[in-house]
Amino acid sequence: MKVWLLSISRVLARLSLFIMWLAGLGLVAMTSIVAYQVYMRFIVNSSPAWTEAGAIMIMSWFIFLGAAVGVREKFHMGFDVLLYVLPDSALPWLRSISDIFIFIFAAGMVVYGSELAIRFWSTTIPVLGLPTSFTYFPIIVSGALMCLFIIERMALRLAGEPVDAASPSEITEV
């Protein structure tokens, strides 16, 4: 079972890398759109209507996708101060509690983001011609990815894999 779990983890690592590159491309695309908008507004004196809404839409995608990658790579916020005063044996327990809370939050993103997407499917973003629900899709996708990544980490931890960072007592000052 452990070999199967590790192979799934490798697939999820590739998925995470792909998502990070996709988010990076989104950042480049948004920057290009904003630069185009500035050029059109101040040089040509004719700003396209779709650029602001398009840039915001792309921005929400790369922010939420980046947040999902951050959860997998453990770049998210945490309350690590307790790790400095508790014994090293508390590390997996505290990380597991943190993972459970992140999972609950991410599941809420999926549930409530889906409710918003369903509610606003019949309205459109005028300048883009897309359903307003497209605004909420990044929340749903990111929440689902976060849930997947947390399940992966919890399963690896239960299988005995070293998924937690070094304990504070093992960290030396530079």
Q: Give pLDDT tens digits for 17-53.
A: 999 999 999 999 999 999 999 999 999 988 898 999 9
> What pTM did the predictor assign?
0.84
CB neighbours of 90 closer than 8 A, spacing ≥ 6? 82, 83
Tell me, what's the pLDDT at 174? 41
Share of the chain above pLDDT 70, in %: 91
Cβ count within 10 A of residue 152: 19
Whether 169 shows a pLDDT value over 60: the answer reads: no
One-letter identity of residue 5: L
**pLDDT tens, 133-145?**
999 999 999 999 9
